[in-house]
Amino acid sequence: MSKRILIALTSHAVLGDTGRSTGFYLGEAAIPWEVFTEAGYSVDLVSVAGGNPPRDGEDPTDSLQRRFLTDTHVAAQLANTPTPDAMDTSAYEAVLFAGGHGTMWDFPDNPALARLAREVYERGGVVGAVCHGPAALVGATLSDGSYLVAGKKVAAFTNDEESAVGLSSVVPFLLADRLTAQGATHIPADNFTAQVVVADRLVTGQNPASARGVAEAMVAALAR
C-alpha cells in the first residue's frame, strides 16, 4: 500500500445562531500535515460538502500555517476538495478527522465519514481525531453494528473546555457526553493542555494543543 493519509475537514461555516463564522481549525490540519509528510506520507484532503472548506483559527504570523496553505498540493486540494463518498479508502493507511467547531454540525451521524473510519479501521489502518474531530465518531459503527468507540478510551474537547469558551449552549450537544453514551470512556486532562489517548488503532486528542501528539501517535501506530 502506498504511504498515504487522508485528513477530513468540516464544511460547516456558521457557529450556531451566534452570527460568528467557523470551519476546520487550521492548526489541526496543518500540524498533522507537517508530521505526516516529514514521516514520508503523502497527505490528501477531503471535506464533507467538497469544494473550498471554511477555516478557523488562522494566524498569518504562523510559519507552519503559511507553509501548509501555500504548499502546491495542499492549495490545489483546498480549492476543490472531494467529498467523502468519492474516496477509495483502500488507498489510505490512516484517516484523521481534524477539529474545529464546525464539525459539531456536519460530522456526527454522517454515513460517508463513518464509512471512511470503518473501512480504514477494519482493514487494519489507523483512525485519528483531534479536538472536535471525534464528532465524526459519533454514530460511526463497525460492520457488526457496534459503535467504533464502544469499549475504547478516547480524548475529545471536554465539557469544561466548551464551557470555558462560552459555547456549551451553542453546540448541538456536548461531545464528551455523546461519545460516552456510545460506550467510550472519555479521559479528560486539564483545560487546553495536550492530551492524547491511544486505544489500539484509534488515536484521539483533546484540543488544538494535542494536534501534534495525535499525528505522532498515528505515525507510531502505523509503524507497529
The active-site residue out of 132, 161, 186, 216 is 132
- Residue 157, φ and ψ in degrees, nearest 5: -55, 130
The active-site residue out of 12, 34, 162, 186 is 162
Half-sphere exposure (Cβ direction) of 158: Cα atoms closer than 13 Å: 18
Catalytic annotation present for 161:
no
Evaluate whether 22 touches 98 at the Cβ level (below 8 Å).
Answer: no
Catalytic annotation present for 101:
no
Judging by DSSP bridges, how do beta strands 126-130 and 55-56 pair with one another? unpaired
The active-site residue out of 131, 161, 186, 216 is 131
Judging by DSSP bridges, how do beta strands 126-130 and 94-97 pair with one another? parallel
Q: What amino acid occupies position 9?
A: L
**What's the rounded Cα separation, in Å, for the pair 154 and 171?**
20
Other C-beta atoms within 10 Å of 198: how many?
20
**What's the rounded Cα separation, in Å, for the pair 113 and 36?**
21
Catalytic annotation present for 131:
yes
Q: What amino acid occupies position 10?
A: T
DSSP 83-138: PGGG--GGG-SEEEE---TTHHHHSTT-HHHHHHHHHHHHTT-EEEEETTGGGGGT
**Beta-bridge partner residues of 9:** 47
Supply the residues annotated as catalytic.
131-132, 162
